[in-house]
């Protein structure tokens, strides 16, 4: 066989192998590690909306409340380029939390895994959680926000018909749903 024939045969072999492997290689999966979260920050004593307050969703995502106290944090999507699998990303999702930390108010930390969800969190499609009104307690004059321990909310169920977000940390029932419809989706305390 001539040298040019060997090179051509060798080239065809490697080109075929390359095309075959690229056709069978899977694209890395994408997972939504956190839901999109929205709500409104309210002063618990004055009932006034709180603007320009930073709300943190993990270390990567944060937002600032507008002049009506409303904020929205977009979901965090991660690409599984290392083939870690859904279990790894589920564990990340279980560790995510929301931190509200501003001068003059008690810091609050909410565990996302403990929030009521209106749908199954399969991590494959983005989910939205509307926290409704979040009441922040003003600190006594002269007390620094780091002088007291933050308030940790491990679970936030849906509000029962007789409950008010002013008195109870709960999530409003989604529009178009009743409490009876969403009651099975309550987080376990």
β 151-153/108-111 pair status: parallel
Give per-residue burial for 42-64: e unless 16+ CB within 10 Å, then b.
bbeeeeebbeebebbbbeebebe
Q: Of the ranges 4-13, 28-37, 58-67, 131-140, which is most confident?
A: 131-140
CB hemisphere CA count around 1 (13 angstroms):
8
Give dist(CA 76, CA 31) in Å, integer. 8
What residue ranges do the domains of the chain occupy? 30-185
Residue 24 confidence class, pLDDT cut points 50, 70, 90: very low
Q: What is the pLDDT of residues 49-77, one digit of tens each?
A: 999 999 998 777 889 999 999 999 988 77
Beta bridge pairs of residue 109: 99, 152
CATH number, domain 30-185: 2.60.40.1120
pLDDT at 2 exceeding the cut of 60: no
Residue of 30, 167, 148 whose CA lies nearest to 89 = 30
- What is the pTM (predicted TM-score) of this model? 0.74
């Amino acid at each position: 066989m001539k040298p040019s024939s060997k090179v051509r045969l060798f080239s065809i072999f490697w080109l075929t192998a390359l095309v075959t492997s690229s056709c069978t290689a899977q694209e890395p999966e994408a997972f939504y590690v956190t839901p999109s979260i929205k709500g409104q920050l309210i002063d618990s004593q004055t009932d006034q909306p709180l603007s320009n307050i930073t709300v943190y969703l993990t270390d990567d995502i944060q937002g600032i409340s507008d002049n009506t106290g409303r904020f929205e944090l977009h979901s965090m999507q991660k690409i599984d380029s290392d083939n870690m699998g859904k279990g790894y990303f589920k564990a990340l999702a279980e560790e995510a939390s929301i931190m509200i930390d501003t001068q003059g108010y008690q810091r609050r930390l909410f565990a996302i895994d403990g929030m009521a969800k209106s749908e199954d969190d399969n991590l494959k499609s983005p989910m939205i959680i509307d926290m409704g009104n979040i009441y922040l307690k003003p600190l006594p004059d002269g007390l620094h926000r780091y002088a007291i321990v933050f308030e940790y909310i491990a679970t936030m169920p849906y509000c029962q018909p007789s409950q008010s977000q002013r008195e109870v940390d709960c999530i409003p029932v989604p529009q178009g749903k009743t409490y009876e419809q969403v009651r099975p989706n309550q987080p376990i305390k």
